[in-house]
Amino acid sequence: MQTATQVTPEQVKKPKSRKKSTIIISVTGIVLLIIAATAFYNWDYLQLYYWNARYNKLNPGNKLYERPDWVKDTLDVDLFRLIRPITDKDIDDQQLTELEKDIAKKVLISSTKTYLHRTSWHISADKLIKLKSAYIGTYQGSDIMDDFISGKTFTGLYFIINPNEKVLGKDKYEFHKLPKGYTWANGPFYVNIYDISEKESPEFKK
């Protein structure tokens, strides 16, 4: 009569150990894939975040200047502000009939996303030249924001600025209309980092 083959405890555990290792490898692979996909779709943001963390040594209150080549070419510096979706409260605060309010609320956008948008205010290069200084205002902080331009959004790094009122200018016409369903949000002015310098223009150091 044949005897049953004895199975040692070590032999019993091996299949379970292999199965557990396979699960760990699979989960790790999925996690790495998710991280890679997230990095790919947020690559612009990650690059800007890295640049700001490594190279931005400014502190609140530090002076900002217009780029020397822009001053020389008398180019103005655009100022941006936040815009946000219009809400029910915005409509309720308007002098409208109840029917008009109901109609207006039906076409409100559902998004809560805020964007930067170019304002009619700008830093006047002509005024900078008259004052013989490229000083445009003081640095207050930085943020990576989406700028809404001509129906499209572009991610960029912006500095929050307290502008020098002596060099402010304003367009007579609203060249950059707000996108439908949006209004201005309360908040500071922003400038694109590519428009500014941390040092006075050599032209005014002579």
- pLDDT tens-digit map of 107-128: 787 777 888 999 999 999 999 9
End-to-end CA distance of the chain: 110
Mind listing the pLDDT tens digit for each residue in 26-49? 555 554 444 444 444 466 778 888
- List all residues 6 or more positions away from 197 whose beta carbon is below 8 Å from its beta carbon: 64, 65, 66, 67, 68, 134
Residue 32 is predicted with a pLDDT of 45
Domains of the chain, residue spans = 9-41, 60-204
Residue 160 is predicted with a pLDDT of 96
Best-predicted range by mean pLDDT (93-102, 115-124, 146-155) = 115-124
Q: Is the pLDDT of residue 190 over 90?
A: yes
Residue 168 is predicted with a pLDDT of 96
Residue 8 pLDDT level (bands cut at 50, 70, 90): low
Chain centre distance of CA 4? 71
